[in-house]
Amino acid sequence: ARRIVHMFEMVPMTSADAFAAVAHAHEHRRAAEVAEKIALLRAAELYEVDRDAIWAVTEQEIQAGSDGTPLVGEFLAHELAGLLGVSPESALWQLGQVLDLRHRHPALWEAFLAGTVWFWQAAKIVQACSELSAEAVAVIDRRTAHALQLWPWTRVMHHLPAWIIDADPAHAATKAASARQSRGVHIGRIEDGHCTLNGRLAAEDGIALDEALDAIAATLPAPELPEWLEDATDGHKANYRHDQRRATAAGILARQAFGQDALPVELIVHVDANDLTHGTGAARIERWGTILTQHLPEFLTGSTVTVRPVLDPAGLSALDGYEPSAAMRLALQVRNPVDVFPYGTRQARACDLDHTEPYRFDGHTRGQTGMQNLGPLSRRSHRAKTHGGWQLTQPEPGVFHWRSPAGYEYLVTATGTTRISAPPPRPSPCFIEPEPDPWEDPPPSDPTSSRPIQPELIAWLIAQHTLTNAAA
């Protein structure tokens, strides 16, 4: 007979074991997701609709996906719904997502099968492209599949609207015209002494309104906090005060509409020079989103435009002082537009400029502040590098080599992040040894004998059993 000994040692007992367990579970979760989606696809391919039933109008073939996807039997979703534990409508929607991904986004589908993209990420892209033709989607498919191998998810989604415009400018113009026709601002009826405000504005008007509300709100006194916020975090309190001030500012703005001075606002607009020449493509507005380049003249009407061409980093000399120059800051933001921590997403403009090799305040070390020794880091990433045990070198200007405290190494450039190495796997400990009686009480000297079995341990044993079977 055999029995499990030292049951509590089956859970990770060291940080290294825990990290390895996370990686193990992560790998098999991806495998299970891929298997499920392949099974859904095969179910759609193998499901047969009785041709006589079609003529009898008892079951129809419907298009669960978008343009370019095959038809499926309408009752297939009901069979799948029970297996998935969702409604037929939800099952049909999920099936449509799989069909779209397989037939309209083949490169993204392959990335999903390889385990480099989660299905929910692929589904977001599929949904954003659902109204485009199959030809336009093919253009986006190649870009997204490549970008998702290097960029974190939020950065890809940040660029996706511009790629959609580039792939089908005519469709984007049609959507913009449709949205223009649906513009409006609506004030709801008075309820509990207040009105609800909602609507749709032109991009330039919406940004102007937002800046105006912020500018007026900044001049108003802080409102009193309600009792239910007394124990809230400082962040929640600040958000409450900000919202209250903006609501008051809307009323002030309405009453001072005539004679109100123009409010200054700085917007950073990124445009490709070729797009300006031809009047096509997308213009990306930092913090706000993307508009058609052809709408820039209307968007910038009445604005003072400052053109800042890309600087040549090689022409910037290193400085002796701690603070970089304004030109160096701009060049760094162009070279590395986002946080250079692995898979970072924060815009460089909102980051600290970190000295890769810590600055030495010795008074005689020259040229420490330069493009070869600077990189944008979010405040928390900066603290992780300084205090969290992360090691960083910059072998070439703009190329960042990270090593985590657990031994994982990453290479970060302007094009994205690549994991280049991992610590060697630890040998799996043996938890089984022969015993004459599987129900034998542990000896009194066993320190685990007096410890109750925790729910976390039971869940861990079940999960390990499932993953072991999946690996087999």
Same domain, 72 and 151: yes
- Answer yes or no: is 163 within a domain: yes
| Residue 460 domain flag | no
Q: How many structural domains compose the chain?
A: 4
pLDDT one digit per residue (tens) for the chain, 472 residues: 455 545 455 777 888 888 888 888 888 888 888 888 888 988 998 888 776 655 555 678 888 999 999 999 888 888 888 888 888 888 899 999 999 999 999 999 888 888 888 999 999 999 999 999 999 999 999 999 888 888 888 899 999 999 999 999 999 889 888 888 888 999 887 677 788 899 989 888 899 899 999 999 999 998 888 888 888 888 898 999 999 999 999 888 887 775 544 445 677 888 877 777 776 788 888 777 788 888 888 778 777 888 777 666 777 888 888 899 988 998 899 899 999 999 988 899 899 999 999 998 888 888 889 999 999 999 889 988 888 888 999 999 999 999 998 888 999 999 898 889 888 876 654 444 444 454 555 555 555 455 555 554 555 666 666 556 655 5
pTM higher than the cut 0.95 = no
In a domain, 431, yes or no: no
Same domain, 175 and 147: no
C-alpha neighbours within 13 Å on the C-beta side of residue 344: 29
Q: What's the farthest any 2 CA atoms get from each other in the chain? A: 93
Asked if 350 and 294 sit in the same domain, the reply is no
Residue 231 in any domain: the answer is no
Residue 232 counted as domain residue: no
Is the same domain home to 341 and 278? no
- Give Cβ neighbours of residue 296 (< 8 Å, ≥ 6 apart): 269, 271, 283
* CA–CA separation, 320 and 327 (whole Å): 15
164 lies in the same domain as 176? no
CA distance 288 to 331: 22
Same domain, 142 and 34: yes
Q: Do 333 and 348 contact (CB within 8 A), yes or no?
A: yes
Question: How many helices (H) does the chain have, and how many strands (E)?
Answer: 16, 15
Residues 136 and 182 in one domain: no
- Whether 253 maps to a domain, the answer reads yes
Asked whether residue 62 is assigned to any structural domain, the reply reads yes
Assess if residue 202 is contained within a domain: yes
Q: Which domain holds residue 207?
A: 171-187+196-222+238-265
Spell out where 241-324 has E strands: 269-270, 282-285, 289-292
Does residue 391 sit in helix, strand or coil? strand
Say yes or no: 119 and 218 in one domain. Answer: no
Within this chain, do residues 137 and 256 fall inside the same structural domain, yes or no? no
DSSP 31-95: HHHHHHHHHHHHHHHH----HHHHHTTSS-EE--SSTTPPPEETTHHHHHHHHHTS-HHHHHHHH
